[in-house]
Amino acid sequence: MNINDAIEDFISYCIFEKGLSDKTINSYRNDLNIYKEYLSSKGINNVITIKPNNIKDFLKIRSEEKTTTLAHNLTVIKNFHLYLYKQNITKENISEYISRPKVRKSIPKVLSIEDVDKLLDIKLDTPLDYRNKAMLELMYATGLRISELISLKTNDIDLLEGTVIVMGKGSKERVIPVGDYAIDYLNRYLKVRYKLLKEQTDYLFINNHGKAISRQGFFKILKKLLKEKGLNEDASPHTLRHSFATHLINRGADLRSVQEMLGHSDITTTKIYTEVSDELVRKEYNEYHPRSKEG
């Protein structure tokens, strides 16, 4: 089978059998087209003539790309060749024994507790101020992803129990405790929320047009506050999530509990925050211990 037809077969399988999103499909198609162009430059136009070394050479040529990009390229290629093998289009899965590049996760940037306090020190004059205060307090109190925060409905918050129900990645539901401080400001916001309504909506956080606040809208609010308070303007919504996790671990929280609250399926993802803590400990030691340096 020629490579073009094989790619189209695989893409159709991903759409109709796997039900992958448009974004994922476009990403797969893009990676496979780059792979196809490389193979074509080597005179390879049929899938049965592709060898393991062709894949290895392709990855070498792209070695200047970020490790995460290479890892994604190889994942797509592996899925493609596994599909060809399972469909009996090829006699073997030639990608089976090719190792994925190790992805080194960068240590997340976090705000100090003092900087978080500055950020959350919002003067409450208008309904939008109450909304901004409630949003940021809730995000820092729970470590929600921005996509989770803006998707919240009013009935997802239990003000009496002090919990929030979140639908996370992979449609996994989790219940996260919310501290008294955030609950207090959510209560205050809900008392003035009606002033922002133009029509009935269940979304918890709404903009000045009465619609659910967007990711871009939240980002603009955060950037404006960071600038006003002289804080690092490179901080993002995810920085608050990182800060939530790091501050919990610094104060002795159990890693499994933090994993549960963040909605991580794999605890190794959560362990990155222990590295942040270790780095902060080393920094504090070097700065304040009288015998940390010679001379």
pLDDT at 116: 94
The answer to whether residue 264 is catalytic is: yes
- Which candidate, 246, 266, 126, places its Cα nearest to that of 196? 126
Task: Check whether residue 183 and residue 275 sit in a common domain.
Answer: yes
pLDDT at 289: 44
Q: How many CB atoms lie within 10 A of CB 198?
A: 11
Tokens 């490579």 sit on residue: 3
Would 108 be classed as within a structural domain?
no
The overall longest dimension of the chain from CA atoms, in Å, is 71
The answer to whether residue 241 is catalytic is: yes
Query: Whole-angstrom Cα distance, residue 161 to residue 174?
Result: 15
Would 294 be classed as within a structural domain?
no
pLDDT at 294: 52
- Which of these is catalytic: 109, 211, 238, 271? 238
pLDDT at 241: 87
The answer to whether residue 238 is catalytic is: yes
pLDDT at 291: 45
Which residues pair with residue 2 across a beta bridge? 46
The 3-state secondary structure of the chain reads CEHHHHHHHHHHHHHHCCCCCHHHHHHHHHHHHHHHHHHHHCCCCEHHHCCHHHHHHHHHHCCCCCHHHHHHHHHHHHHHHHHHHHCCCCCCCCCCCCCCCCCCCCCCCCCCHHHHHHHCCCCCCCHHHHHHHHHHHHHHHHCCCHHHHHHCEHHHEECCCCEEEEECHHHCEEEEECCHHHHHHHHHHHHHHHHHCCCCCCECCECCCCCECCHHHHHHHHHHHHHHCCCCCCCCHHHHHHHHHHHHHHCCCCHHHHHHHHCCCCHHHHCHHHHHHHHHHHHHHHHHCCCCCCC
- Which of these is catalytic: 193, 241, 242, 247? 241
Would 21 be classed as within a structural domain?
yes
Residue 162: CATH number of its domain: 1.10.443.10
Query: Whole-angstrom Cα distance, residue 163 to residue 4?
Result: 51
- pLDDT tens figures, 86-138: 999 999 999 999 987 665 566 668 889 999 999 999 999 999 999 999 999 99
Task: Check whether residue 188 and residue 260 sit in a common domain.
Answer: yes
Q: pTM (2 decimals)?
A: 0.59
- Which of these is catalytic: 169, 198, 229, 283? 169
Q: Which of 51, 86, 121 is the last residue before a domain boundary?
A: 86
Task: Check whether residue 276 and residue 145 sit in a common domain.
Answer: yes
Q: What value does the CA radius of gyration of the chain take, rounded to a whole number of Å?
A: 24
- Which candidate, 41, 9, 44, 14, places its Cα nearest to that of 28? 14
Domain of residue 234, residue span: 113-287
Query: Whole-angstrom Cα distance, residue 9 to residue 123?
Result: 58
Task: Check whether residue 166 and residue 76 sit in a common domain.
Answer: no
- Which of these is catalytic: 83, 140, 189, 273? 273
Would 33 be classed as within a structural domain?
yes
- Which of these is catalytic: 81, 145, 242, 247? 145
pLDDT at 106: 63
Task: Check whether residue 185 and residue 250 sit in a common domain.
Answer: yes
Distances (CA, A) of 193 to 86, 150, 178, 218, 251: 55, 15, 20, 16, 34
- Which of these is catalytic: 36, 72, 78, 264? 264
The answer to whether residue 289 is catalytic is: no
Task: Check whether residue 160 and residue 251 sit in a common domain.
Answer: yes
Residue 44: CATH number of its domain: 1.10.150
Would 292 be classed as within a structural domain?
no
Q: Residue ranges of the chain with pLDDT lower than 70?
A: 101-108, 170, 269-270, 272-295
The answer to whether residue 273 is catalytic is: yes
Distances (CA, A) of 45 to 10, 26, 61, 73, 76: 16, 22, 19, 19, 18
Please tell me the total count of domains within the chain.
Answer: 2
Query: Whole-angstrom Cα distance, residue 9 to residue 47?
Result: 12
The answer to whether residue 62 is catalytic is: no
Dihedral angle, C-alpha 35, 38, 42, 47, nearest 10 °? 10
Would 274 be classed as within a structural domain?
yes
